[in-house]
Amino acid sequence: MHRLEVPMPNGLPFAMGTFDTIGAMSRATFPHRHTFHEIVQVTGGSGHHVVDLSRFALRPPNLCFLAPGQVHHWDAVTGLEGRVVLFTDEFLVDHPGDQSVLRALGRRSWLELPPREAEVTARLIDEMDAEYRAGADGFASVLRSLLHILVVRAVRLDASPAARPHQEPAGPERTHSAGSSRPGLVATDFVGLLGTPDSCPLSVREGARRLGVSVSYLSEAVKVFTGRTPGELIRQARIREAQRLLLRTELSVRQIAERVGVGDPAYFCRFFRRETGTSPGDYRRGSGDIHHDHRLESIARPDPSA
């Protein structure tokens, strides 16, 4: 499990670059998962990319979407070229609906870009990269807007038969049997629930009821496929929504606490500080200072001693 490393408490949860500048882990040949979203633009190379239970042949140009918790690796790849965009759900503060859209794209994962779409996509990613490297005033808002455009265009592409690749089985021992895929679907659907507007009051029991499974089944499926418990993911969703409301509204701390399903404002403040390392008030006041340096090492193995 790999996490996006950013400065705390107000670091920009976003990074992008080439496979070389992001580092060796961006082309890892062993199965691994991320706690963040990853969009991969492949412009050159041969071999295969394996995502969950599907195997995709590189036929550049390609565009790949990976949601938090998905398992992937590169297999027998040579000459891999392109760029990688990494960000957390928190970065989608201006377009929170993109969380569920990105997870839906992650279920299909791989797009083959026709020439015109490849050119338009390349220009958009070029603009994102230039904005990210310059780091000028307001660059975070510009990046969020460009990312939203990329997501919307990807949805349009996903609806086009020309962009759909041929999927190969990941291996003889890994097929799309009902028994092997259902836990992954349950976990993905639960994460999708957390991206909906009414997710904050959601409990683990209510999530299991909506998905038609037992609490124990949901807990096991989510833990296996994301590395975290349903309760941990719910707390993260509440924090993300609280951060969005602090940055984008004039609601009081009491009102925000109620919106995210934490009725006691004092407990909400303790909860927010425990999860983010800062108070709601300091987070709101310090939000304008999210700046340099934003170009940090983006993927790292967890501390072996942790």
**Distance from C-alpha of 244 to C-alpha of 241, rounded to nearest angstrom:** 5
Residues facing 112 on adjacent strands: 62
pLDDT of residue 200: 63
Q: What is the pLDDT along the chain (306 residues), one digit of tens a residue?
A: 555 554 444 467 899 999 998 888 889 998 888 888 999 999 999 999 999 878 899 999 999 999 888 889 999 999 999 999 999 888 888 887 788 788 888 877 899 999 999 999 999 999 999 999 998 998 999 999 999 999 989 888 876 665 556 556 555 433 333 333 466 678 777 877 776 655 566 789 998 998 899 999 999 888 876 677 889 888 888 887 888 788 878 899 999 998 888 888 999 999 999 988 889 988 888 753 333 333 333 333 334 443
Q: pTM of the full predicted structure?
A: 0.62
Radius of gyration of the chain (CA): 19
- Residue 149's pLDDT is what? 94
Q: Encoding tokens for residue 305?
A: 């001693």
- Residue 48 resides in a domain: yes
- Is residue 245 included in any domain, yes or no? yes
66 closest CA partner among 226, 301, 261: 226
pLDDT of res. 233: 83
Say whether both 23 and 136 belong to one domain: yes
Counted domains in the chain = 2
Kindly report the CATH number assigned to the domain that includes residue 88: 2.60.120.280
Q: Are 223 and 250 within one domain? A: yes
The pLDDT score that the predictor gives to residue 292 is 30
Asked if the structure places residue 234 within a domain, the reply is yes
With DSSP H G I counted as helix, E B as strand and the rest as coil, what are the percentages for the chain, rounded to 5? 50, 20, 30
For 54, the domain range is: 3-169
**Domain contains 80:** yes
Q: Are 34 and 71 in contact (CB under 8 A)?
A: no
What are the residues whose beta carbons fall under 8 Å from the beta carbon of 101, sequence distance 6 or more? 151, 155
Query: Which residue in the block uniquely carries the two structure tokens 């569920």?
Result: 100
| CATH code of 240's domain | 1.10.10.60
Q: How far from 101 is each of 98, 149, 180, 246, 273, CA to CA, in Å?
A: 5, 12, 24, 23, 29
Instruction: List, in sequence order, the alpha helices (H) in the chain.
Output: 19-22, 98-108, 115-134, 139-158, 178-193, 204-211, 215-226, 230-248, 253-259, 265-276, 280-286
Q: Is residue 174, in this structure, part of any structural domain at all?
A: no
What local confidence, expressed as pLDDT, does residue 114 receive? 92
| Residue finishing a domain among 169, 193, 221 | 169
Q: How many CB atoms lie within 10 A of CB 174?
A: 15
